[in-house]
Amino acid sequence: MKNSFIYRFKNKTKLIIRGKNIERFVRRLIKNKIEIIDLKQIKYNEISIIVYTKDIEKIEKIKTIYEIEIKRNYGLNRIYELIKINKYLILFILFGIFLIYLLSNIIFDVEVVHNDSYIRKFLKEELKKYNIDKYKLKKDYKTKEKIKKDLLNKYKDKLEWIEIEEKGTKYIIRVEERIINKTNEKNINRNIIAKKNGIIISIDAKDGVIVKNKNDYVKKGDIIIDGNIYLNEEIKKSVSATGTVYAEVWYVVNIEIPYHYKEIKLTKNKQKVYTIKFLNKYYDLFNMKKYKTKIIKNNYLIKNNLLPLSFIEQKQYETIEIDEIYTKEKVVEKAIEQSKQKLLKKLKEDSEILNYRILDEKSDKEKLKLKIFFSVKEDITDYQKIEELKTE
């Protein structure tokens, strides 16, 4: 029973009892059927006991010559005491939470993302009709979807797509303008040319005449698939050359790697935590995972320069610290791997590193510098209008 949930909230009181022959008083309590929950000897003439608060009145009647001091309450009475002591702090926190809730449901800014100032102004005015404006209440998901549908139906000739994104107390409106009768580039007569210098690996032509072969070296601008169809050295017709050309192209990457390697690395673990900042202290709400080291990105949902209280949405990313000293062989290995990654980030996804060679190497006690040559399989397809060639 003592371990039950209800027992924890029963009113109990800790008493300090002083006097001669304390044992006699304890026997008197037992005789009067007063349950002693806990008993500790402090001195030969002093004990502490915990009893149910309802029995205090009985104890007062039978105490006679003994001195009784109420030390502390437990259960609901203790909760009431704490509320009474901290009532102003509790009221302030409740008011702060109410204020945060209220302010977090108000729009403080509306931003329309588009290059055309006319579209931005036009859309802001339209959104005002739906009460999407500064200092208006936020809309729920269904209402936002209805507003989007209404705007797209109303302005079919102007708007292709619209999205209403809520970020804290700000609405970001992303919009795409409808372009009517947009020119289709595939219908333009053109040649396929080399985007950069390289040695051709493969040519996949669907329309046009192939004028270069596999293993041919081409310079930037050279025609690979001709859109002009010749007969007896005369142009009979022109088409839109279609196809893809892959070639071996070359890059040089310079990289510097320290022997003493120190890095803060992100793990795959991340979480969203809501935090209250009061003065300079942060109080996480319902944060079950505590990361030992982490990177935090704060998004202030509510922030007021007059009050030392903020409501923050935190994105927490767990980190681990790597601190190692590498051999020269390991540094070279890491330099090559990082160079590959650095190069591939600049290229299209279908690019492929074919080979590499270290051109130059410089080393001191702290770091290693490498110049690395890479050969890469890359799409070098580019286009040139035939009309431009005729003009020339």
Q: What is the pLDDT of residues 356-368, one digit of tens each?
A: 999 998 888 888 8
CA distance 163 to 113: 10
> Domain 109-177, what architecture?
Roll (3.10)
Are 74 and 50 in contact, with CB atoms under 8 Å apart?
yes
- Specify the pLDDT at position 5: 63
- Specify the pLDDT at position 186: 55
| pLDDT at residue 388 tops 70 | no
Q: Write out the two tokens for 197.
A: 């210098």
| pLDDT at residue 278 tops 50 | yes
Q: How confident is the model at residue 180 (pLDDT cuts 50, 70, 90)?
A: low
- Which of 139-143, 180-184, 219-223, 270-274 reaches the highest mean pLDDT? 219-223
Sorted by where each begins, the domain ranges of the chain are: 5-81, 109-177, 185-243+382-387, 252-259+325-381, 263-322
Alpha carbon 7 to chain centroid distance? 44
CA distance 134 to 142: 20
How far is residue 322 from each of residues 187, 261, 266, 325, 343, measured CA to CA in Å?
55, 7, 11, 10, 24
| pLDDT at residue 372 tops 80 | yes
Mean per-residue pLDDT for 123-134? 88
- Specify the pLDDT at position 219: 93
* Cross-strand pairs, 231: 234
Query: What single letter denotes the amino acid at residue 303?
Result: K
Mean per-residue pLDDT for 317-339? 86
- Specify the pLDDT at position 212: 92
Least trusted range by pLDDT, from 109-113, 187-191, 384-388:
384-388
> CB pairs under 8 A, 24+ apart, for 283-289?
none
Mean per-residue pLDDT for 122-150? 87
Q: What angle do CA 318, 322, 324 make, to 5 degrees?
A: 175
- Which of 97-106, 127-136, 180-189 reaches the highest mean pLDDT? 127-136
Mean per-residue pLDDT for 203-214? 90
- Specify the pLDDT at position 223: 92
Residues in the chain, total: 392
- Specify the pLDDT at position 306: 64
pLDDT digits (tens, 9 = 90+) for 12-61: 889 998 988 888 888 888 888 888 888 988 888 899 999 998 888 888 88
H/E segment holding residue 215: none
| pLDDT at residue 252 tops 90 | yes
Indicate the CATH number of 5-81 among 3.30.70.260, 3.30.300.30, 3.40.630.30, 3.30.465.10: 3.30.70.260
Percent of the chain surpassing pLDDT 70? 93
- Which of 68-72, 169-173, 355-359 reaches the highest mean pLDDT? 355-359
Percent of the chain surpassing pLDDT 90? 17
Question: Coil, strand, or helix at residue 6?
Answer: helix
- Specify the pLDDT at position 22: 86
Which residues, 6+ apart, have CB-to-CB distance to 209 below 8 Å?
225, 226, 228, 229, 230
Which residues, 6+ apart, have CB-to-CB distance to 51 below 8 Å?
12, 13, 15, 29, 34, 35, 36, 37, 59
| pLDDT at residue 89 tops 90 | no
DSSP letter assigned to residue 197? -
pLDDT digits (tens, 9 = 90+) for 284-302: 776 667 888 888 888 887 7
Mean per-residue pLDDT for 252-268? 85
Neighbours of 379 (CB within 10 A): 16
Are 236 and 230 in contact, with CB atoms under 8 Å apart?
yes
